């Protein structure tokens, strides 16, 4: 029995299988909670994760092994890997969670918003002709440049949720979504 069946059939708290599946869903959603944070935090955590992946990939290469694509700094395309992860793992998990617990809808919406931001980052990589393994630091540099030029206006109201540091929409004055 899957969590999907619980959603379709209705969650029964007296059913041990339903309770067990809900706990599994909650544990997984906790594990992926970085995807529910604001864009700046989500992006920074992704950078740290890929730094760790690439270190492992380097070790695997040094031992004569072939690392998986996401651990190979020469082949990994971080924005597309993140989009795929969100579409196939994070979004379905938070969608199920929001169907079981309507109060979790905001979490699903945040994941969907961050997925849109990864799409924008992918576009920026493409437009700038950046290599797939390029650091995401250029996004911070772009933000700081716009801020120093006064192009962002008063961003004192910005927080991690609303000010999409490093992934600004063109023509929105740096206000993000």
Residue whose tokens read 């600004």: 168
The length of the chain, given as a count of residues:
177
Q: DSSP for 17-42, please give it.
A: HHHHHHHHHHHHHHHTGGGGS-HHHH
CB-based burial of residue 101 (10 Å sphere; 0-12 exposed, 13-18 middle, 19+ buried)? middle
CA distance to 19, 50, 137, 139, per residue, from 95 (Å): 18, 25, 31, 29
Secondary-structure percent of the chain, ordered helix, strand, coil, rounded to 5 = 65, 0, 35
Q: Is 72 marked as binding a ligand?
A: no
Provide the token pair at 176.
Answer: 């993000």
Question: How many CB atoms sit inside 10 A of residue 144's CB?
Answer: 13
Q: List, as residue ranges, the binding site for Zn(2+).
A: 31
Q: List, as residue ranges, the binding site.
A: 31
């Amino acid at each position: 029995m899957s969590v999907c069946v619980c959603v379709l059939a209705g969650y029964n708290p007296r059913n041990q299988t339903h309770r067990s599946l809900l706990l599994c869903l909650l544990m997984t959603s906790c594990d992926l909670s970085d995807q529910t944070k604001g864009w700046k935090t989500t992006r920074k955590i992704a950078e740290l994760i890929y730094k760790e992946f690439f270190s492992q990939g380097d070790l695997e290469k040094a031992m004569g092994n072939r690392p998986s694509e996401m651990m190979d700094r020469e082949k990994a395309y971080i924005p597309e890997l993140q989009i795929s992860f969100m579409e196939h793992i994070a979004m379905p998990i938070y969608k199920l969670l929001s169907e079981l617990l309507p109060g979790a809808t905001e979490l699903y919406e945040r994941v969907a918003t961050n997925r849109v931001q990864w799409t924008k980052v992918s576009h920026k990589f493409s437009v700038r002709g950046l290599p797939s393994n390029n650091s995401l630091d250029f996004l911070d540099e772009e933000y700081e440049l716009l801020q120093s030029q006064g192009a962002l206006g008063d961003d004192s109201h910005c927080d991690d949720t609303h000010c999409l540091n490093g992934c600004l929409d063109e023509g929105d004055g740096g206000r993000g979504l």
